[in-house]
Structure 1
Amino acid sequence: MLLSRSHLNRVPLVARLNILSQTRAVSDKTSTRKPRLKKTTLLDFAQPKQKRVGSRFETHPDSPEDKTNLPPRDKWRQIFAWVPVNDRVSLSNSDTADTVAECFVPEGSTNKVIIEAFPGPGQLTRSLLALPENRIKRLIVLEQEPKYLDYLRPLAALDPRLTIIPYTALEWDTFDRIEEQGLLEDIETLEWDQGVHPKLQFISHLPITVYGEQLIAQILRLIPNRNWLFRFGRVKMNLLLSEYVWQRLTAPPENALMRCKLSVMATATADFQTKLYDELQPYAQHFHPTLLKKASDTIKISNRRIGVPFQAVEITPLVKQVINPEKLDTWDYCIRRLYVRKATPLNQCIEDLGPGAQSLIPKLSATIDPKTKIREITVSQWASIVKEFDEWPFAPTDLGINDAKLDNYGGRGLLNRF
């Protein structure tokens, strides 16, 4: 029985000590304090660490010997546990992969040369190869993960149409290797207004990290100057990407939350269409990896987490390009400089283009309300800003972005080549 302080003071000293000792013993038994951690010494680092089963470069014990066929979907999380999956999403449902393959390369396609990036272990690759043979002449797969390559190489041994380039699509040198092997020598170069290229196509699962956004941003940037695959003409791209990236790509000026630099460049260079959405929901029934715990009924779209809805889309370069290839750097400069303060009216931040740029406002007033916020500016209005800036006698000559804070594309490393 616990006594209050007033009652305890009336108890004789010896009895009081006994009560306190009993109370302390009970407290020690019921204590929830965590035990003190063992101090780490240099000797601990010298001890050999216990190895987990398998590794990124070793075959998992549950992996089947015959890797021509993929393991059951419920085993993927274990077998591919050592693959860095936080940024890689790939189709795992074979029926869904068949639907996507038929959508991307429909009936009527003939002798296509397809570059497939980030295929994972190759569920979609298998479905593409299973299409009528006359549809695909050559399938070039870009994949660098050893565990995934184990399931792709047997396909190349069985089907001569498949060529594997064991490098990541995040490095432009990978595409040089395609040309060095002569895999695009028979591709005809078409005039830009001759329609979508009927023979060359790009297909990819888009990584869900910022590197995925970097990739699509720089691909779009290559359209106006007709570089990369676009030197052959208007090459169609089919992507499996997250709803989050899709909203950023296609956000109109009135979408204050998702409108960004990527939205402006996308709208200026290409046409975007959703090809499959309902057929790919819910995420867990169609894609790998799945969440370890059950996802909530409502998943926020504005994030890059695993489990965000995915969709199949088609991106086609526009015939008429708003961006003059010779002014591409000017477009980059103006958009990046002004989007630093995207919620600010144009007349309050135009000085970010250079000292004295306020003098451009009277000329821009005919096409843009000076009080328009940066994120609400349309592509045609951006064209007016770029035109007036380019004709401005006092425009800066160095259009490089030297302020790291202005560069939200994640750095100037892997993807900055063209």
Structure 2
Amino acid sequence: MSTVANLRSYNPSLKKFFDKLPRFTYGKSQLKNPAACQQVLDKLNLKGQYNSSNLDIIDATPGFGLFSAMLNHELKPKNHILLDRNDETVRSWHKKIQTLQNSTGNQENFKIIDRDPFSWETYSNLYKKGILPPTKFQSFDKIHDELLIVANWTGTKDESTIAQWIGCCSYRNWLMKYGKVRMVLFVPSSTAMKFLSEPGFKKRNRTALKRDLYTDSRLIAIGEESEIIGEGYDPRVLVRDQPVVIDKSSFIRNSAAAVVEISPGRYTGDVIANIEHLLSGIFVTSSSLRESLPKLAAGAEYLCNYIPDEVLNKKAIEFTTEDIITIANAYEDWPFKPSIEETFDIGEEDFK
């Protein structure tokens, strides 16, 4: 810790809290190394992109909190709301905030809220109960410069939450209704490998397709998990994003994770809403689309008349965003498409 004074984003007022590690981490991978946090912040390069005088940060499951504290010191937000239900975490943050109150007057503007960060209602109540002032809508043409979301979803059961938050980008609801709101997420390495993969990569799945279609995203950092740096990731993503590599020893649990940046992209959920109910059936098989169509719906092979051979001969993991839009447009033009209820019946019978 002797070099922390040289780190731009380190808050010396909180040093005593980060010199000692917590007794429990409750299943989360958390950074304990200030230098690693600084690397992540440098890669994110957030400072010039936010209006600090009006910036609200919503920070879910901050835990140990070193990254949260350094992010705060970097951006100096108007409000930094910490959401956590873990008793030890809440107590620890109350002590941190009291220390700041005595030393800086809590000019960091931290507030710890003992509410469930998994619950949608928790976020709406921040506004309903006046904890946060109303967030103004900004155009989706640029990153919203007055709201930032941070979350640690590295638990074993957190992947579905990450997928749901990506879904909010598609329908531009929840906090995404305010504009192109950036999310900085700590996620399991295995989740990052899948969700950020590109067309044709063996780990690409339905959520990766949606992430590709509905969001702008970057792989910010990866944990060093083996002698081969980046093993398991799509090489194209590594080359494109050049993520920071974090030494395994920098994590409290000695269990590496990844940091990803996600915000709403060009398309909304409407673009493939008509085939949303078919995606599970499309991705459950390793066959080409041409071979899969008869199993998706009665008479669906008729769609071969509307879809180019190039797309028909692809497997689901190979679909690009343009391909899936082509399929959605073809389905819309199909004069005899079944009802959604009829499609579900067929799918359940064929894919048991």
With the length of structure 2 as denominator, give the TM-score of the two structures: 0.77
CA deviation string 1:295-319 (max 9, x = no partner): xxxxxxxxxxxx2x3333322322x
What amino acid is the match of 1:287?
F
- The alpha-carbon deviation at position 358 of structure 1 amounts to 0.9
What amino acid is the match of 2:187?
L
**Within 5 A, what are the aligned runs for 1:47-86?**
69-70=16-17, 72-73=19-20, 75-76=21-22, 79-80=23-24, 84-85=26-27
CA contact (8 A) 2:220 2:244 kept: no
Change in 2 beyond 3 A, CA 1:71/1:162 = closer
- The alpha-carbon deviation at position 268 of structure 1 amounts to 0.2
With the length of structure 1 as denominator, give the TM-score of the two structures: 0.66
Q: How many residues are matched?
A: 306
CA contact (8 A) 2:295 2:350 kept: no
Partner of 2:32: 92
- Secondary structure, in 3 states, of the residue corresponding to 2:313? coil
**Within 5 A, what are the aligned runs for 1:125-140?**
125-131=68-74, 135-140=76-81
Higher helix share: 2
Corresponding position: 1:397 with 2:345: no
**Within 5 A, what are the aligned runs for 1:97-112?**
97-101=37-41, 103-104=43-44, 106-108=46-48, 109=50, 110-111=52-53, 112=55
Partner of 1:317: 264
Partner of 2:320: 378
- The alpha-carbon deviation at position 128 of structure 1 amounts to 2.9
Partner of 2:230: none
Q: Mark the runs of 5 or more structure 2 residues left unpaired by the alignment.
A: 1-13, 223-242
CA deviation string 1:257-294 (max 9, x = no partner): x11111100110112223344755222x211223xxxx
Corresponding position: 1:336 with 2:280: yes
- Secondary structure, in 3 states, of the residue corresponding to 2:82? strand
CA contact (8 A) 1:275 1:313 kept: yes
Change in 2 beyond 3 A, CA 1:251/1:365 = same
Corresponding position: 1:124 with 2:67: yes
Distance 2:133 2:348 in 1: 40
Question: Which residue among 277, 287, 290 is the counterpart of 2:251?
Answer: 287
CA contact (8 A) 2:307 2:330 kept: yes
Distance 1:328 1:165 in 2: 37
**Within 5 A, what are the aligned runs for 1:9-408?**
69-70=16-17, 72-73=19-20, 75-76=21-22, 79-80=23-24, 84-85=26-27, 88-101=28-41, 103-104=43-44, 106-108=46-48, 109=50, 110-111=52-53, 112-131=55-74, 135-157=76-98, 158=101, 159=106, 161-193=109-141, 195-209=142-156, 211-256=157-202, 258-277=203-222, 280-283=245-248, 285-290=249-254, 307=255, 309-318=256-265, 320-321=266-267, 323=268, 325-326=269-270, 329-341=273-285, 343-365=286-308, 368=311, 370-398=312-340
* Structure number, greater radius of gyration: 1
- The alpha-carbon deviation at position 84 of structure 1 amounts to 3.2
Change in 2 beyond 3 A, CA 1:69/1:149 = farther
CA deviation string 1:108-148 (max 9, x = no partner): 3323211111211322222233336xx31110111111111
CA contact (8 A) 2:182 2:262 kept: yes
Larger deviation, residues 143-152 vs 117-126? 117-126
Distance 1:188 1:92 in 2: 35
- Secondary structure, in 3 states, of the residue corresponding to 1:217? helix
CA contact (8 A) 1:280 1:311 kept: no
Partner of 1:29: none
Identity of aligned residues (%): 19
CA contact (8 A) 2:18 2:32 kept: no
CA contact (8 A) 2:169 2:263 kept: no
Distance 1:120 1:262 in 2: 27
- The alpha-carbon deviation at position 328 of structure 1 amounts to 5.3
- Secondary structure, in 3 states, of the residue corresponding to 2:26? coil
Distance 1:214 1:205 in 2: 13
CA contact (8 A) 1:69 1:151 kept: no
Q: Mark the runs of 5 or more structure 1 residues left unpaired by the alignment.
A: 1-66, 291-306, 408-418
CA deviation string 1:323-362 (max 9, x = no partner): 4x44554342121121111x11112111232111111112
Change in 2 beyond 3 A, CA 1:129/1:404 = farther
CA contact (8 A) 1:269 1:317 kept: yes
- The alpha-carbon deviation at position 174 of structure 1 amounts to 1.6
What amino acid is the match of 1:286?
S
Partner of 2:226: none
Distance 2:149 2:178 in 1: 12
- Greater length-normalized contact order (CA 8 Å, ≥ 6 residues apart): 2
